[in-house]
């Protein structure tokens, strides 16, 4: 059995990593600062010792005493005062033979200086050294003493004990270590807070879960047939699946969309409007370099803030093909249903006549049915040559008869098959919705009759649908063409909207006349006949 791979949780990983970084950075920084402070402290003490040595070496009292102009005992008194005020360990004044003239221990006065590091000073050099003397190991500053003529007459040595220096360094660096001691717990606490905050921002997801979701999202984006385009809150494109790129290229747009402003890449995309309003838009048509696409636009909201928007779209031509297929199946099923119902009724009549042995009337009835069928089929096929449209009209004849409506289809000329097969989809939409609208308008009438008239002059097709209903009030004659407007309840009001839309797409005209006794819709469309020789 394969063992499940264990992952350290994001919260723990971030906290651990930040803690290590904080501890290492504070420790290394603290050590470097402490080292710098220690060096600086030693340098400051060395400078202090040298400054004191220079002060003593340039003192007239010391110079005169070494020249024999004053009592040399005054040197001890003078250096003792300076030593007390400056808090150094010793101030030793010696002559050119290295004999002490002052010392913290009076018993050492008159004896030779100890340390063997005074030689260079006796030769006129000033410097700092570390050596062991009678008082212990110390840091020493040597300064030559010269008289008014510039002749060296002695040396002054100022010493600070090394243990005192180490105490000063420790005192100076103590604050650094205290800071490190406070900084590390604060850093650890900050790491825990940061880890929790990041986990909250990531909705509690672990890295492997985020990676899995990303892969699943990409798989879903690439598997759908619709183009998908996503923008951030600034309207910049951040997502575009393969289908979207394919459609853009089909429309002649070959640039990579990622990172570009949606309004610059796709003028009129509508996404900036959705970002601003926060309102979804469904089933909107948009022109894309001559290609018509059907778009849905939805804002992405987190809390109460719009952080982006997504648009899904598809080529309207492809949707039309699907719609035509679905319409054809629906029409076929509806026609079969109506015909089956009619056929069953006729079979019942025939069965009854057979049982009562009314054979002559049965013969007349069958002949009547046959004549009616041939008359309907003959009249429709005479007026309309396209088999799809003819079949659709025959189904409408049967449907109207089932609803108790007399549907008359007439015309003085034949409508040939169109040069563009796509026009049939629009004609079915126009015929179907106008006839259905007329049948619904006659619902409460005693006499129900619809007249459909067809005309064609070689370039213009004219369709007229007239019903003997109660008419349409004048104030509603414009509203009935609006999408979703209906006086018959919810989820209605699309038929006449689709009629006008199809008429507009075909470049035709739609007229409405209505009074208290009837309503007539007249449609004029440019219509080009199919060349049968092609």
Spatial distance between the Cα atoms of 120 and 100, rounded to a whole number of angstroms: 16
Q: What is the pLDDT of residue 144?
A: 93
For the question of whether the overall pTM of this predicted structure is more than 0.85, the answer is no
**Highest-scoring range by mean pLDDT, 209-218, 290-299, 514-523:** 514-523
By C-alpha distance, which of 376, 358, 460, 465 is closest to 418?
A: 460
Q: What residues pair up with 297 in beta bridges, in sequence order?
A: 281, 311
Q: What is the pLDDT of residue 491?
A: 47
Q: Which of the two residues, 416 and 369, has the higher pLDDT score?
A: 416
Longest dimension (CA), the chain: 174
For residue 16 the two structure tokens come to 């651990």
| Tokens 């590390």, located at residue | 184
Whether 298 has a pLDDT exceeding 80, the answer reads yes
**Average pLDDT of the chain to the nearest whole number:** 79
State the Rg of the chain over Cα: 53
Nearby residues of 221 by Cβ (< 8 Å), 6 or more positions away: 228, 239, 241
Averaged pLDDT for residues 414-437: 84
Spatial distance between the Cα atoms of 357 and 352, rounded to a whole number of angstroms: 8
**Do 125 and 119 touch, CB atoms closer than 8 A?**
no
Q: What is the pLDDT of residue 275?
A: 86
DSSP state of 68: T
Q: Determine the number of helices (DSSP H) and then strands (DSSP E) in the chain.
A: 14, 14
Residue 382: pLDDT band (50, 70, 90) is confident
DSSP state of 11: H
Spatial distance between the Cα atoms of 183 and 34, rounded to a whole number of angstroms: 15
Averaged pLDDT for residues 313-336: 56
Architecture of domain 226-315: 2-Layer Sandwich (3.30)
Spatial distance between the Cα atoms of 77 and 70, rounded to a whole number of angstroms: 13
Fold of 1-223: Beta-Lactamase (3.30.450)
Averaged pLDDT for residues 47-62: 89
Residue 1: pLDDT band (50, 70, 90) is very low
Q: Which of the two residues, 10 and 380, has the higher pLDDT score?
A: 380
Averaged pLDDT for residues 90-107: 88
DSSP state of 294: E
Whether 196 has a pLDDT exceeding 60, the answer reads yes
Whether 426 has a pLDDT exceeding 80, the answer reads yes
CA distances from 43 to 169, 395, 506 (A): 11, 109, 96
Instruction: Spell out the alpha helix ranges (H) of 69-118.
Output: 73-86
Whether 254 has a pLDDT exceeding 70, the answer reads yes
**Do 519 and 468 touch, CB atoms closer than 8 A?**
no
Q: Could you write out the DSSP letters of every residue in 325-382?
A: HHHHHHHHHHHHHHHHHHHHHHHHHHHHHHHTT-HHHHHHHHHHHHHHHHHHHHHHHH
By C-alpha distance, which of 465, 461, 460, 475 is closest to 511?
A: 465
Whether 4 has a pLDDT exceeding 60, the answer reads no
Helix (H, G, I), strand (E, B) or coil at 100: strand
**Do 121 and 155 touch, CB atoms closer than 8 A?**
yes
Q: What is the pLDDT of residue 328?
A: 46
Helix (H, G, I), strand (E, B) or coil at 526: strand
Whether 258 has a pLDDT exceeding 70, the answer reads yes
Instruction: Classify strands 237-240 and 281-288 as parallel, antiparallel or unpaired.
Output: unpaired
Instruction: Taking each helix axis as running N to C, give the angle between helix 387-402 and helix 316-355, from 0 to 180 degrees, rounded to the nearest 10.
Output: 50
Averaged pLDDT for residues 487-508: 75
- Determine phi and psi for 146, rounding to 5 degrees: -125, 150
**Do 90 and 158 touch, CB atoms closer than 8 A?**
yes
> Are 1-223 and 226-315 the same fold in CATH?
yes
Nearby residues of 6 by Cβ (< 8 Å), 6 or more positions away: none
Instruction: Taking each helix axis as running N to C, give the angle between helix 423-441 and helix 495-505, from 0 to 180 degrees, rounded to the nearest 10.
Output: 150
Domain limits, the chain: 1-223, 226-315, 404-526
Residue 489: pLDDT band (50, 70, 90) is low
Q: Could you write out the DSSP letters of every residue in 479-525?
A: GGGSTT--SS-TT---HHHHHHHHHHHTT-EEEEEE-SS-EEEEEEE
Rounded (10°) CA dihedral 464, 470, 474, 477: -40
Averaged pLDDT for residues 107-131: 86
As a whole-number percent, the residues of the chain with pLDDT over 90 amount to 4
Least reliable range by pLDDT among 39-53, 82-96, 157-171, 426-440: 157-171
| Tokens 């030769």, located at residue | 123
CA–chain centroid gap for 45, Å, is: 62
Fold of 404-526: Heat Shock Protein 90 (3.30.565)
Helix (H, G, I), strand (E, B) or coil at 202: coil
Cα atoms in the Cβ-side hemisphere of radius 13 Å centred on 21:
8
Residue 203: pLDDT band (50, 70, 90) is low
Q: What is the pLDDT of residue 332?
A: 47
């Amino acid at each position: 059995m394969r063992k499940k791979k264990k992952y350290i949780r994001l919260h723990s990983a971030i906290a651990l990593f930040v803690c290590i970084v904080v501890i290492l950075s504070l420790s290394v920084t603290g050590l470097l600062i402490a080292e710098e402070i220690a060096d600086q402290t030693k340098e400051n003490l060395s400078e202090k010792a040298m400054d004191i040595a220079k002060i003593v070496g340039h003192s007239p009292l010391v110079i005169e005493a070494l020249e024999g102009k004053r009592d040399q005992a005054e040197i001890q008194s003078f250096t003792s005062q300076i030593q007390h005020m400056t808090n150094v360990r010793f101030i030793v004044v010696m002559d050119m033979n290295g004999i002490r003239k002052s010392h913290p221990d009076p018993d050492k006065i008159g004896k030779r200086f100890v340390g063997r590091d005074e030689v260079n000073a006796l030769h006129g050099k000033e410097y700092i050294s570390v050596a062991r003397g009678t008082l212990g190991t110390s840091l020493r500053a040597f300064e030559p003493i010269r008289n008014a003529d510039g002749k060296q007459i002695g040396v002054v040595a100022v010493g600070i004990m090394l243990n005192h220096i180490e105490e000063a360094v420790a005192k100076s660096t103590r604050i650094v270590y205290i800071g490190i001691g406070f900084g590390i717990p604060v850093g650890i606490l900050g790491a825990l807070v940061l880890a929790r905050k990041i986990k909250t921002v990531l909705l509690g997801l672990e890295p492997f879960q985020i990676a899995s979701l990303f892969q699943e999202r990409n798989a879903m984006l690439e598997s759908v047939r619709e183009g998908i385009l996503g923008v951030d809150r600034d309207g910049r494109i951040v997502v575009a699946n393969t289908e979207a790129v394919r459609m853009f290229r089909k429309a002649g747009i070959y640039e990579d969309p990622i990172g570009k402003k949606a309004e610059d890449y796709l003028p009129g995309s509508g996404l900036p409007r959705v970002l601003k309003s926060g309102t979804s838009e469904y089933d909107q048509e948009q022109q894309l370099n001559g290609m018509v696409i059907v778009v849905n636009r939805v804002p992405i909201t987190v809390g109460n803030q719009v952080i982006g928007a997504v648009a899904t779209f598809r080529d309207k031509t492809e949707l039309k093909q699907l719609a035509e297929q679905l319409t054809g199946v629906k029409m076929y099923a509806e026609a079969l249903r109506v015909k089956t119902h009619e056929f069953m009724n006729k079979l019942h009549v025939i069965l009854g006549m057979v049982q009562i042995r009314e054979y002559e009337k049965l013969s007349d009835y069958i002949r009547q049915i046959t004549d009616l069928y041939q008359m309907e089929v003959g009249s429709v096929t005479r007026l309309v040559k396209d088999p799809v449209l003819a079949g659709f009209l025959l189904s409408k004849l049967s449907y109207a008869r089932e609803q108790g409506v007399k549907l008359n289809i007439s015309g003085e000329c034949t409508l040939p098959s169109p040069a563009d097969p796509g026009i049939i989809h629009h004609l079915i939409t126009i015929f179907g919705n106008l006839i259905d609208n007329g049948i619904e308008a006659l619902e409460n009438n005693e006499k129900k009759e619809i007249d459909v008239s067809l005309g064609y002059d070689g370039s213009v097709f004219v369709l007229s649908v007239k019903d003997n209903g109660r008419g349409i009030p004048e104030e509603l004659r414009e509203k009935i063409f609006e999408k979703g407007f209906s006086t018959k309840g919810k989820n209605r009001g699309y038929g006449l909207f689709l009629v006008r839309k199809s008429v507009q797409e075909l470049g035709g005209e739609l007229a409405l006349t209505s009074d208290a006794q009837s309503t007539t819709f007249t449609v004029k469309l440019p219509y080009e006949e199919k060349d049968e020789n092609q």
